[in-house]
Structure 1
Amino acid sequence: MNILGIGIDIIEIDRIEKVLKRTPRFLERNFTEKEIEYFKENNFRSESIAGNFAAKEAISKAIGTGIRGFNLKDIEVLRDHLGKPIVNTYNNLKEICIKYSVKEIKVSISHSENYAVANSLIITED
């Protein structure tokens, strides 16, 4: 097992609240249908949306490219039955992961009253 990269991102929750009010299609442009369903089940809490957004940014940093060659909807961050974040990749990002022999993408998300933060770790095959 090797580590391809680590990433971290922090975002102001009120920034997400403002963009949600100002840009109605923000969710559809940046999140998968399953993520939007998760947000709906949680009453579209802005801290959850901000946490997922930060997770996507952290993952893009861990890949080492930032958001180049793929888009944010190529990253899907869901939760298992215990609430642990689970990452799925699609389209161009899935191809990048195959190219780099990515075995797993781990992510941790947290938030306070004002900020959401996420870190990620990308593990490759030996």
Structure 2
Amino acid sequence: MTILGIGVDILHLPRIQRILLRRPDRFITRILTDIEQQEFRAIQESAGGEIDHQLLVRFVGARWALKEACYKAMFPHHKLTWQDVSVVKENGKPCLQILEKARFGIGNTHATVSHDGEYLIGQVLLESP
């Protein structure tokens, strides 16, 4: 295994909550891919439509942190965009789906998220093929 890059990002969840309350649609369509937006809407529906529900804030926060960490792992060789990376869950664990992975020289990806109170951290490790 050759490590291509490691990235980490920490964020204050109330910041995400404020952004969601101020401009939810603009923020969601900018940050989340189509598949992530569908999952967001399903969670929002189960939360009674509350845009600032704790589950939604953590959902968006986790995707923000993991995408930022992925960007940092690839920088300066490649500059990924928000829409280049989707975060999906497989067996309860976050997994990265990166568009054109081979073009970026990415093999296996590893991601983890942890949160405590108002803080959330995402870490990504990218391997070369």
TM-score, shorter chain, exceeding 0.5: yes
Distance 1:19 1:74, change over 3 A: same
Aligned mate of 1:102, from 103, 106, 122: 106
Q: CA deviation at 1:64?
A: 2.1
Q: CA deviation at 1:39?
A: 2.3
* TM-score (normalizing by structure 2): 0.82
Runs of 4+ in 1 over 6 A off after TM superposition: none
Distance 1:67 1:18, change over 3 A: farther
Distance 1:49 1:67, change over 3 A: farther
Aligned mate of 1:116, from 117, 120, 123: 120
The secondary structure found in structure 1 opposite 2:66 is helix
Q: How far does the alpha carbon of each residue in 1:70-126 deviate from its partner, in whole angstroms, 9 at most, with x for none?
A: 31111100101x211111112xxx2xx42453111211011112011100000112x
Matched, 1:53 2:74: no
Q: CA deviation at 1:32?
A: 0.7
Separation in structure 1 between the aligned mates of residue 117 and residue 78 of structure 2, nearest angstrom: 27
Aligned length: 118
Instruction: Show structure 2 runs of 5+ residues with no match.
Output: 45-54
Separation in structure 2 between the aligned mates of residue 67 and residue 54 of structure 1, nearest angstrom: 18
Give me the identity figure in percent.
29
**Aligned match of 1:78:** 88
* TM-score (normalizing by structure 1): 0.84
